[in-house]
Amino acid sequence: MEIEELIEKTVKLVLDAQRIVVFTGTGVSTESHISAIRSSSDLSTTTSNEFAFPTFVGNPTVRSRSWQTWNMFRMIEMVQPNPAHYAIAELDKMGKLDCVITQNVDGLHQKAGVPEEKVIELHGSLRWLKCLNCDRRYPMMEIARKLGEGEEETICSECGGMLKPATISFGEPPPKETSEAEQHSRNCDLFMLLGSSLMVYPAAYMPIYAIQSGAKLVIINVGTAPVDQHANVLINETVGEVLPKIIERVKSRLAH
């Protein structure tokens, strides 16, 4: 099937849908030229002992190295959304978007205009740190400034507890976002899988939940994913190139 036909088929599915769940992976973020931040997402799911949750908590030397690493991600504040992020935000403005489920930790969906409450961050966020004792959150930039001024490690100002980047590390209990994402996946009528090869679980279950509940499946991705054979539309192109074209056509049809 030609790309033009695939785009038109997707436009019709979006127009017919009432509750769209958009699932995004690293293929969406890398179009913003943030390979370093992509690698930081990998840290949240790695099985390496270096970044495993028990090691972080129990080994001050590892924590010190971790803070030096995370301090480099002050660059995240300078990174801007790309056309894919803005196209997804347009879905929300049209009243079509139920939520975004993302494996990315960069906060670019929110920067593009998707409401905070509609973004489910399965692997957490680089924008925040959290206290492991009282769960208070701190903006990453606030702590990064302190680290840049020479602090080796900072603690919670409320309870003195240990702070950790608010990404999900190997060995850490699954966050509430996992069950929230499952619920939304089961209740949507169109699931759009964008820029993800679905190599990490339980994130990879989300499109399966949607399919089991009768939702249509659109995949826009360079490469393959385990659910490709279930797709109603499969487009093997970059998201930033294809999705804006789809959304512009949807907007045009809705305007007439």
Residue located via tokens 């069950």:
179
Q: How many helices (H) and strands (E) does the chain have?
A: 11, 9
Domain check: are 247 and 211 in the same one? yes
Global pTM value: 0.81
pLDDT tens for 10-68 read 999 999 999 999 999 989 988 887 654 443 444 444 434 455 655 666 566 666 666 55
CB 159 within 8 A of CB 171: no
Tell whether 230 and 184 lie within a shared domain. yes
Domain boundary among 108, 133, 167: 167
Same domain, 105 and 206: yes
* CATH code (residue 108): 3.40.50.1220
129 pairs with which residues across the strands?
138, 165
Cβ contact 42:159 at 8 Å? no
Domain tally for the chain? Answer: 2
Q: Are residues 113 and 128 both part of a single domain?
A: no
State the catalytic residues: 123
Domain region containing 214 = 1-34+81-122+173-256
**Which tokens in the block code for residue 205?**
């279950």
Query: Which residue in 102, 120, 104, 109 sits closest to 40, CA to CA?
Result: 104
Instruction: Give CA–CA dist 188/147, Å, rounded.
Output: 43
CATH number for position 133? 3.30.1600.10
pLDDT single digits (tens) 169-218: 665 666 688 999 999 999 999 999 999 999 888 889 999 999 999 999 99
Q: Which range among 64-73, 81-90, 144-153 shows the weakest confidence by mean pLDDT?
A: 64-73
